[in-house]
Amino acid sequence: MSFRDMPIRRKLMTVILLTSGAVLMLSCAGFCTYEMVALRKGMLKEYTTGAQIIAANSTASLAFRNEADAAEVLAAFKTDPRVVEACLYDQKGKVLARYPAGAPVSIFPTHPSESGYRQDHLEIFYPVLQGSRVLGTVFLQSDLSDLSERYYAYAWLAGAIIACSILLAYLLSRMLQKQISTPVLGLVETAKLISQEGDFSVRAEKSGEDEVGALTDAFNQVLARVEDQEQAIRKLNADLEERIVERTAELALTGRKLEENKNLLDSVLHNIKDGIVAVDEKGRYFVFNPAAEKIMGRTPEGILDNKRMEHFGLFRPDGVTPFPESEGVLSRALRGLETHDLEMFVRNPLHPDGLLIITSGRPLLDEKGKTMGGVGIFRDVTEQKRQENLKIYAKALENSNRELQDFIFVASHDLQEPLRKIQSYGNFLLDETKGSLSEAASVYLARIQTAAKRMSGLIEDLLQLTRVTTKAKPFELVNVSEIVGEVQADLELKLRETGGKIMIGELPELEADPTQMRQLFQNLISNALKYRKADVAPVVMVQGKADEGKGWCRVLVRDNGIGFDPKYSEKIFNIFQRLHANDEYEGTGIGLAICRKVVERHSGTITARGEVGKGAEFEIVLPIKQAK
């Protein structure tokens, strides 16, 4: 039984006994500690005095190194059985005489040290002086049996004192606790009697003028007040019975009015186009109008653990990220928070394509301001949002096309013209100064012309990249085999120079922009011929396969060139990304970026695979028919 649940008598006796025992134990512990410290100091002093006497008697023996006299002086320790061993050290720290006489020298310390208690004995070192001259040192070792006996005696004495004191405290507390417990128990018995019989006229008997007596008076005063209140309640009950009859008639009239209002509210909820829902403080729905069921695509039946977002298929406006339960309008309303114009995306079996809704909510409060539920209102704004987005996209597309057209104009005129002048004047300078320029000047002029040519090519590639979208043509049915054949004819001169060969396999027909398809395969096959192995004729294989059932086709462009590290399979499609220096392979690093942009414009994907020294492969996946 815990102390808190003990009877008050036992509590009082326990407190008295624990207090008395703690005080006695602390007192005895202090007394014993003091006596032990005093005994150890006395023993140390006693044997130090004995060593001093031996030192005084050993002066002549040490001065003349008389071992017999020294041994006779040490024999005085026979009178004290606690002395285990003793010896005299000379000036050099060597044992001159020892006690007992036959004790081996090895049991003594190798040299004098400091006096003090060791683990189970006491060691005393005292110098033998002749004037200020040190002749040697007296050493003695005593056991601690005397101390141990005194310790045991003190322990038994302290135990006996504590036991007797606790017994006396127990007898006194048993007699005296009644002065406190008896009045308190009287109050308890009175309270039990009132609880059992319900008679508030009973009074507790006062036993004295102390605090318990004051408590008894207060208890009796409370009983008197309760008795008066009980009588007043009985009178009120009679009055209430009369008023209940009157109120019942009023409630019947109010009930009829409430029924009429309910019918009117039901009519509003059934005819309004906005979804309206309401839940109680536990999240249970008690309002869910037909418009809400139509927009949400299902009823609230079957919701598990108030997981409304999962039940109705609610997502953030991106249509992918599940909407958090804690941020829903009803969850916020139950926490006393309002929500205004929150966008959510609904997707479930009834609405597989999804709906965009705008919802608001607020808590339902009682007259004291306490939240007793929540209400939410929402409407379908899918079509409205679609029209707004179309206007935004159309405006953005118009601005983008205008900016791209401006850029193309600047690039084709303002940038290309200075480069053409640099190349022309470089040629003029080369012709005019032929043979007169130094070798270094000729190299510098050649580098200028090369840089201008590269810059012109870079600008032209950038123009090609922007034209993928700004100069795009409508999609039409394209034969990929014919496109690749035209590219092969264009690259005939390059194929002769390199000894290369293009192998064209079965290729599908699909809806595409023919100009951009030609640009795609022109870049891929040109790269295959450019990044060839030294002294190895390049071979490019182009083949494909269509899956009419799935509506997709797959085209592979494979070569036997230098290949690339697989870790760069994504990096090579980034604009201006090159894996080789210009002095190894020429180029601007835009060709593959144009390829990816063309494929993405056709709603497809392009993937690169390769190994260093084992060639490269580009996989192009395109829809056979483009979405209208």
* Mean pLDDT score, 104-114: 86
pLDDT score, position 540: 92
- Domain assignment of residue 221, yes or no: no
Q: Where are the beta strands (DSSP E) in 460-615?
A: 476-479, 501-504, 509-512, 539-547, 552-559, 605-610
| pLDDT above 60 (res 435) | yes
Across the chain, mean pLDDT equals 82
pLDDT score, position 172: 78
204: which strand partners? none
Greater confidence (30 vs 260) lies with 30
Contact 128, 58 (CB under 8 A): yes
pLDDT score, position 363: 92
Contact 465, 499 (CB under 8 A): no
pLDDT, one tens digit per residue, over 446-495 is 677 666 665 665 566 556 555 555 555 778 898 999 989 988 888 888 88
| pLDDT above 60 (res 519) | yes
* Mean pLDDT score, 126-148: 87
Number of structural domains (the chain) is 4
pLDDT score, position 87: 92
pLDDT score, position 439: 72
| pLDDT above 60 (res 611) | yes
- Domain assignment of residue 192, yes or no: no
Q: Which residue, chain included where needed, has tokens 């060791």?
A: 118
Convert 280-315 into a string of H (helix), E (strand) and C (coil): ECCCCEEEECHHHHHHHCCCCCCCCCCCHHHHHCEE
pLDDT, one tens digit per residue, over 283-338 is 888 888 888 888 888 888 888 767 888 888 899 988 889 999 888 888 899 899 99
Share of the chain above pLDDT 70, in %: 85
User: What would the two tokens of residue 404 be?
Assistant: 């791209």
Residues 359 and 436 in one domain: no
Residues 310 and 459 in one domain: no
- Least confident segment among 69-83, 397-411, 437-451: 397-411
From CA 486, how far away is CA 483, in angstroms rounded?
Answer: 5
pLDDT score, position 516: 84
pLDDT score, position 427: 72
Beta carbons within 10 angstroms of residue 596's beta carbon = 19
Share of the chain above pLDDT 90, in %: 12
Q: Which of 163, 181, 198 is the last residue of a domain?
A: 163
Residues 452 and 517 in one domain: no
Residues 323 and 410 in one domain: no
Residues 341 and 486 in one domain: no
CB within 8 A of 464, min separation 6: which ones? 519, 590, 594
- Helix residue ranges, H only, 177-297: 178-197, 211-271, 290-296
Residues 38 and 58 in one domain: yes
Residues 349 and 424 in one domain: no
Residues 436 and 525 in one domain: no
pLDDT score, position 468: 53
pLDDT score, position 617: 92
Residues 393 and 462 in one domain: yes
Greater confidence (407 vs 468) lies with 407
pLDDT score, position 361: 92
Residues 399 and 510 in one domain: no
pLDDT score, position 542: 93
pLDDT score, position 470: 53
Q: Which of 471, 491, 518 is the last residue of a domain?
A: 471
pLDDT, one tens digit per residue, over 204-220 is 777 676 777 777 778 77
Most distant pair of Cα atoms in the chain: their distance: 138
CATH (domain of 585) = 3.30.565.10
The two counts, helices (H) then strands (E), for the chain are 16, 18
- Domain assignment of residue 183, yes or no: no
CATH (domain of 100) = 3.30.450.20
pLDDT score, position 619: 93
| Sheet bearing 95-99, strands edge to edge | 95-99, 83-89, 133-143, 121-130, 116-117
CATH (domain of 453) = 1.10.287.130
pLDDT, one tens digit per residue, over 81-93 is 889 899 998 888 8
Confidence tier at 251 by pLDDT (50, 70, 90): confident
Q: Which of 422, 442, 471 is the last residue of a domain?
A: 471
Residues 532 and 588 in one domain: yes
* Mean pLDDT score, 431-448: 71
Residues 491 and 617 in one domain: yes
Beta-strand pair 371-380/351-365: antiparallel
| pLDDT above 80 (res 501) | yes
Tell me which residue range forms the domain holding 27: 4-163
| pLDDT above 60 (res 528) | yes
Greater confidence (15 vs 581) lies with 15
